Amino acid sequence: MLQKPRGTRDFLPDEMEARRAVEWRLREVARRWGYREVCTPEFEDLELFTMRSGEGIINEMYVFEDKGGRKLALRPEITAAVIRMYINEAKVAPKPLRWCYYADCFRYERPQKGRYRQFWQFGVELIGADSAIADAEVIMLASDMLDTTGVRYELKVGHLSFVKTLLKDVEPETQRKIRQQLDKKDFEGLNVTLEGMNRPELAESLKTLVATQDLAEAFDIAGAIPERERIEQTIGYLDAAGIRYSLNLGIARGLDYYTGIVFEGFADNLGAENQILGGGVYRLAHLFGGDDVASCGFAIGFDRVMVSLGETARTKDTVAAIVCTPETRMRALEVARAFRSAGIRTEMDLMDRGFSQQLSHAAKSADFAVIIGQREAASGEVMLKDLRTGEQKTVTLDAAVAGVVASGSRG
């Protein structure tokens, strides 16, 4: 028997309904903020990803050659593709561009809980706005989106200039190593690196910076930072908007194109693989032949959000089952149409079951049985049975529909 590929999943109806419900809420928040959906191909030229991240990323991707000899890759993330699309299709469009997307990505890595070879991201890119209020808007939107999912999380906000300033006289390769260790919270490895440099004062400054929750203290630790005014403005906007966050000025995103504010979201019930959001200010378009446009964005790890939500994400429609005899089936079709037109999930027997078998099946899969016998067909009424309580009564079709709708609205 054939099995699904390793690192992928099948989603049964209950799961898909829960996923679509959360996805819809994210889309609605993005819409209210003025962000419009875009879509890019699932595969791109391999160079789009190696140009930014180097040849080493090839081992983490699904790479293939097409019949024309072109080297292609299934997208491991979407930001690069969106910026490529901006350069190709929208470089002269009025700025800023507020774009969002929901799509699957692919990475070849060891599958584990919350980490899959095919996974979904909901992301946002704000292109062409280079200001403190633009940075703040994206973080506020990220907070709003996580709030709407219902996930319990902590949002952490930092800025790369603090770490960059402290490391300004460190040679580039060691800088990159230290930033990666900070990004991965590998403090043991960081201690080894700093001890090897014989820079105890730098070690102390980095540790104090990572620990502080006071912005003024952070400026004292790092010294003169050209971006100070913009950082203070951005943080001021977040505070004025009542955003729940903590400072983490040790965030040092490993990707080199981030240039300023960075932020991350962590679920409080996922263990080690608990990051559900990551983003920041970046400049990427110039690498692909475009203008040096400022951008700010983030991606939400949709699968981890769903794992974090667990059973609380499950939604259940109110279901009405039409129960009829062969003689009343035509009337039953009219009744089913009325229920469906009112937005009620409605099912009819397709197996030629007897009357009692239909009722028995309905009790397993529905909330209400809408019974249409000879008497009901003649009178134009229906017998509505609440399968949860056993209560039943004969009512008009309109009253039956209204009763089921009201039951659904009560949850």
CB 232 within 8 A of CB 131: no
Look up residue 48 and give its two tokens. Answer: 């789009």
The sign of the dihedral angle between the CA atoms of 95, 101, 107, 110 is positive
| 79 marked as binding residue | yes
Residues in the chain: 411
CB 206 within 8 A of CB 222: no
Q: What is the DSSP string of 171-223?
A: -HHHHHHHHHHHHTT-HHHHHHHHHHHT-HHHHHHHHHHHH---HHHHHHHH-
| 264 marked as binding residue | no
| 217 marked as binding residue | no
Look up residue 301 and give its two tokens. Answer: 């790890």
CB 124 within 8 A of CB 298: yes
The CA distance from 295 to 297, in Å, is 7
| 258 marked as binding residue | yes
| 125 marked as binding residue | yes
Cα-to-chain-centroid distance, residue 256: 23
| 52 marked as binding residue | no
Which of these, 250, 252, 305, lies nearest to 276 by C-alpha position? 305
CB 148 within 8 A of CB 247: no
- Dihedral of the alpha carbons of 335, 340, 343, 344, in degrees to the nearest 10: 70
| 253 marked as binding residue | yes
Give alpha helix (H) positions in 5-90.
Answer: 13-32, 47-53, 79-89
Q: Which residues line the annotated binding site for L-histidine?
A: 77-79, 107, 121, 125, 253, 257-258
List, as residue ranges, the binding site: 77-79, 107, 121, 125, 253, 257-258
